[in-house]
Amino acid sequence: MMMVGIIAHIAVLPYADMTLLAANSALAIIGNLFLSIWLFGEKFTWKYDFTAMVLLVGGALTIVGLSNKSQVDVDAQELLDRLSTKKAFIFYGIVGLFFAFTHYLTYKFHQALRVFETDADLHDHDLKTSNPSIDQSALVFSKSNQGSEESESSDQEK
């Protein structure tokens, strides 16, 4: 069923308005959500899944509602002129700043994650030294997690 949708999507690419096709792709995500619940028995979490569905449907409706549905013929020179306007360069700058800000936030989140992992490791060490017979479930990084972390770190070192 998924392959039929992908083949149909590829078949209409030359003929469809890309904006409207993007909205259709967003709705396919919702279809996949319901298929995963039905076929794989995944749990529907109202807090996350419903919010995501509302945002996807709202975004798709906004795209369809605001899209220009009339055919516009643009030659190469006019397209180049549009791409080199002041408004276009402002857009490029905003996208570049957003991109840089996103990378900066990712870097800061990774730093915070490293601090958390260090603090959790120290907490586990303190618990183990103060009470050697402590239950593994009381630790932040239990034995099962440590084994997977050690294999991941050894994979990264290679």
Question: Does residue 149 carry a pLDDT above 60?
Answer: no
Check whether residue 36 and residue 61 sit in a common domain. Answer: yes
Of 84 and 138, the structure prediction assigns the larger pLDDT to 84
Tell me which residue has tokens 């996807």.
56
At 89 the pLDDT is: 94
Q: If we measure between CA atoms, which residue out of 52, 34, 53, 54 comes closest to residue 42? A: 34
The H-or-E segment that residue 58 falls in is: helix 51-66
55 with 100, same domain: the answer is no
Q: Is residue 156 part of a domain?
A: no
Same domain, 52 and 85: no
pLDDT tens-digit readout, 5-35: 778 777 777 777 777 777 777 878 888 888 8
Number of domains in the chain: 2
Look up the domain containing 16 and give its range.
Answer: 1-72
Q: Is the pLDDT of residue 153 over 60?
A: no
Domain co-membership, 84 together with 43: no
